[in-house]
Structure 1
Amino acid sequence: MDYLQMVKQYRPRTLEEEGDRLQMLRLAELFPDGLLTRDNMVAHFASSGLILNRDMTHVLLVRHNIYRTWSFTGGHADGDPDPLAVALREAEEETGVSVRPLMEQPASLNILAVRGHWRREEYVPPHLHLDLDFLLEADDQLPVRCKRDENSAVRWIPLSELEEVCGEPHMLEIYRKLLEQARILRGFPRPQRLRQLEGQRETVFLEAKQATGGLPESLWETLSAFANTAGGVVLLGVAEEPDHTLRLFGLPDAEALEEDFWAALGDPGLIHNLHLTRSNVYIQREEGKDILVIEVPPAPGERRPVYLGDDPFQGTYIRRRDGDYRCTRREVLFLAKENPRLLENLNHPEPTTKRTERMENDHG
């Protein structure tokens, strides 16, 4: 499948991706001779790859000579119409290791603005990279090799250090999107040994709440946020310290808290469209302390958005970095695009109370 076909078939997962995809298609119409080579000085296609190890604990990054920061691998199409082939070739050339795709479709789509720079004694003016990003996997025990004309180093970096080593905030957002997709594909490993979490930090997939006084009010926002993005794990009985590292506290009565959770979840007005089974919620004992683990799967499109209360526009959350954020109106409508009955109600001009009644009848 070529670049343009992949762009046309790509299903955006964010409003930003939706906008970038439409812009790529507009540029393709504007430049009918093609966007595959650097002869087009305005924009051209490129492919990138985020390389993960099998355990999804590390990423293989390169230290970019021009931008002087750690980044994923990638490069220009340079006439090759196959985006995946470009991503695989660039990854192996830049790291020296053999890689394989976790999926053959792009896991992210972005338009990246490239600032003007000098390359091989020639000035390259500012332009756009129409970038298709792939998830790749490699053996972290294999030796790596640096491509010196492009990068100064190559190294396996723990996911917990990704924000520290990446000096480009806009790229961090792309890496998070890719990691979210990897989480959906590979699942989030159950924290069988919680002592390994001590000293770690909350992530886009992991939230800790002390909960020694009962179910925290913020729990429901986190459940909505996880379900509306890539899913995640909530640990009750594990607290975040002032330095943002995690500490195992334990619960005084984990069994009672678990029953309180299921009782609260049975309230039809608390949270809508969230689907959990008994296997998603369990007590885990570590070092003589009990914690309650809640695994939240990503909600399928037809069950989105997962929201609190009576009004999706006020009670829908998504996960960004290590926090939960209330969705804007546009984000709620975007989440509901595969839920036609709810989308119709959201766009209906009836007063809020009547609209809410209709939504309750549809989604109970």
Structure 2
Amino acid sequence: MELLNQYLPKTEVEKKYKLKMQKLYQSKGSKAFLRDNLDRHFTASAWIINPISQQVLLLHHKKLNKWLQAGGHADGDENLEKVARKEASEETGHNNLQQISESIFDIDIHTIPERKGIPQHEHYDVRFAYFCHEIEETSINSESNDFQWVELDRIKDLTNEPSILRMVSKTKDIINGI
């Protein structure tokens, strides 16, 4: 949780998320990383950027019917960067991602609806950003319907999710700094 403690939120909403995440960890400890913690638990995501084409990889998630970044459950692993990298590999086929920074890129708390006997719950999502230069090697697994490498200015054509748009803004800052 050291990375979360060091994370400097960019927005007021992220400041609130950080406090909630810290409280969850303080109250549940390592159990906060298990999906058995039915009301809320940590997840990790990979925001994958091609810096040359200035595109981001989005997956159309089957269960949620939304365009999202790769990611998933920690399943007890407290190393969330490792979880994000594993999920990216499983969901996109990319194994040679270059982590942009050792810091967290973004944090988000979002509600997952009830499904197949699993009650509605919250994902405390910790996100890491990666560069990917081999976009033609992208493949998806059974969790997604489709994938697209999307230009930053075209992401709004697929989604208006506030957390995705927040990451788009942060990505533009990174690319403008290259």
SS in 1 for 2:32: coil
Change (3 A) 1:153 1:27: same
Shift of 1:141: 4.1
1:125-155 per-position Cα deviation (integer Å, ceiling 9, x unaligned): 111111111111112443221101x111122
For structure 1, which runs of at least 5 residues remain unmatched after alignment? Answer: 190-364
Higher RCO (CA < 8 A, seq sep 6+): 2
Q: Does 1:126 align with 2:149?
A: no
CA shift at 1:115, angstroms?
A: 1.2
1:265-280 counterparts in 2 under 5 A?
Answer: none
* Matched letter for residue 183 of structure 1: K
Which letter does structure 1 place at the counterpart of 2:106?
A: S
Shift of 1:33: 5.3
Distance 2:33 2:113 in 1: 19
Take 1:92 and 1:109, find their aligned partners in 2: how far apart are those partners?
20
CA shift for structure 1 position 112:
1.2
1:132 counterpart SS class: strand
Counterparts of residues 1-364 of structure 1 (less than 5 Å): 4-32=1-29, 34-55=31-52, 57-98=54-95, 99-118=97-116, 123-148=117-142, 150-166=143-159, 169=160, 171=161, 173-187=162-176
Report the secondary structure of 2:31's partner residue: coil
Paired residues of 2:41 and 2:124 also in contact (CA < 8 A) = yes
CA shift, 1:34, in A, is: 2.5
RMSD: 1.9
C-alpha separation in 2, matches of 1:74 and 1:146: 12
| Aligned residue number for residue 330 of structure 1 | none
> Aligned AA for 1:186?
I
Is the 8 Å Cα contact of residues 50 and 175 (structure 1) preserved in structure 2? no
Q: Contact 2:61–2:145 at 8 Å: present in 1 too? A: yes
Per-residue CA deviations over 1:84-126 (Å, capped at 9, x if unaligned) read 11111111111112322111211111111111113xxxx2111
Deviation at 1:21, TM superposition (A): 0.9
Residue type of the alignment partner of 1:174 = S
Change (3 A) 1:188 1:9: closer
Amino acid at match of 1:111: I
Partner of 1:347: none
Deviation for aligned residue 1:50: 1.4
SS at match of 2:138: coil
2:72 & 2:167 partners in 1: Cα distance? 17
Of all paired residues, the percent bearing the same amino acid is 26
Match of 1:283 in 2: none
Name the larger-Rg structure: 1
Secondary structure of 1:46's counterpart equals: strand
Question: Amino acid of the residue matched to residue 44 of structure 1?
Answer: H
Kindly provide the amino acid, as one letter, of the partner of residue 165 in structure 2. Answer: R
The 1:145/1:32 distance shift into structure 2, 3 A limit, reads closer
The one-letter amino acid paired with 1:143 is E
CA deviations over 1:235-278 (Å, ceiling 9, x no partner): xxxxxxxxxxxxxxxxxxxxxxxxxxxxxxxxxxxxxxxxxxxx
**So what's the TM-score if we normalise by structure 1?**
0.46
